[in-house]
Amino acid sequence: MSSQEQTQSNAELEIETEIQSERSDRETRADEPVLEVRELDVHYGDERALQPVNADIPEKKVTAIIGPSGCGKSTFLRCVNRMNDQIDVCSVGGELYFHGKNVYDDDVDPVALRRKIGQVFQRPNPFPKSIYDNVAYGLRIQGKTDDLDTRVERALRRAALWSEVEDRLDESALDLSGGQQQRLCIARAIAPDPEVLLMDEPASALDPIATAKVEDLIEDLAENYTVVIVTHNMQQAARISDKTAVFLTGGELVEFDDTTTIFENPANQAVEDYITGKFG
């Protein structure tokens, strides 16, 4: 191993330790849920998009949100990091606690919130910059520019993309395939090390092989992050999630439980119908 590599891996180790200590602070609170949703509802103008939702989302687990199109899955997800604030007609009621703090309190800055709760979108949305600059974007924006190379590499490794791009980090991100672009967006989201990762149907625009890669990745991500994933693919939810929330038409959260319970023994008849394909 050359001395340069040695220094680099030392730097990596340091960051890793630093992050570990951050993490152990968090782990002391591991028993309580990261996100507690209380009577959260959403209106678009006069139209109600989400009935009051109550849910506790556990830390470092994958929570899937499933339901038919237009049932409010994405709307709910966008409430968590207050992306809905950017829609003029959208109004949110109720409370959403992140580590016990209501994110809709007046003293919570949505920009600060989004630095702790990252998001991956349905369609891959890389910036027209190099692969490296895409991943480094959040780090630079947030002023975390020390050991930039190491952090970028670590994010790309966690997103299972490093081996495919390590020798062309300077090339445009737009030259990557759709599946690679989506993993790049995941790397971009996790590079600044948020606690929670929201994913809005991250695999729906991808082919089956790319989907499988992203699914594997999500299970690994749950070792470090709390993942909340919206999907319209029930098999996907069953495969990768620990908890599942089922929304049905009208923006109502009908059932929220362990994934095995939801898929094997749901309490609600409508949920059973939806899961067995009789409805939706």
Q: Binding to another protein by residue 204, rule CB under 8 A?
A: no
Cα(67)–Cα(231) distance, integer angstroms: 8
Helix (H, G, I), strand (E, B) or coil at 79: helix
The beta strand positions in the chain, using DSSP E, are 35-44, 47-57, 62-66, 90-98, 101-102, 117-120, 196-200, 226-230, 243-248, 252-258
Q: Binding to another protein by residue 112, rule CB under 8 A?
A: yes
Give the one residue of 60, 61, 188, 243 binding another protein; rule: CB under 8 A: 188
CB of 12 to another protein, least distance (A): 22
Enclosing H/E stretch for 157: helix 148-158
Give the one residue of 74, 75, 84, 119 binding another protein; rule: CB under 8 A: 119
Give the one residue of 31, 46, 47, 88 binding another protein; rule: CB under 8 A: 88
DSSP string spanning 131-145? HHHHHHHHHHHTT--
Cα(73)–Cα(245) distance, integer angstroms: 9
Give the one residue of 35, 155, 187, 189 binding another protein; rule: CB under 8 A: 189
Footprint on residues 137-166 left by another protein (CB under 8 A):
137-138, 140-142
Q: Binding to another protein by residue 60, rule CB under 8 A?
A: no
Q: Binding to another protein by residue 176, rule CB under 8 A?
A: no
Q: Binding to another protein by residue 179, rule CB under 8 A?
A: no
Q: Binding to another protein by residue 261, rule CB under 8 A?
A: no
Give the one residue of 20, 125, 269, 276 binding another protein; rule: CB under 8 A: 125
Cα(150)–Cα(140) distance, integer angstroms: 13
Cβ neighbours, 10 Å, residue 71: 25
Both ends of the chain: CA-CA distance in Å? 57
Cα(268)–Cα(258) distance, integer angstroms: 14
Q: Binding to another protein by residue 228, rule CB under 8 A?
A: no
Q: Which is nearer to another protein, 128 or 277 (CB)?
A: 128
Cα(191)–Cα(158) distance, integer angstroms: 9
Q: Binding to another protein by residue 46, rule CB under 8 A?
A: no
CB of 194 to another protein, least distance (A): 8
Q: Binding to another protein by residue 123, rule CB under 8 A?
A: yes
CB of 142 to another protein, least distance (A): 6
Structure tokens at 172: 């445009």
Interface residues with another protein (CB under 8 A) are 81, 83, 86, 88, 111-112, 114-115, 118-119, 121, 123, 125-129, 137-138, 140-142, 172, 174, 185, 188-189, 192, 194, 198
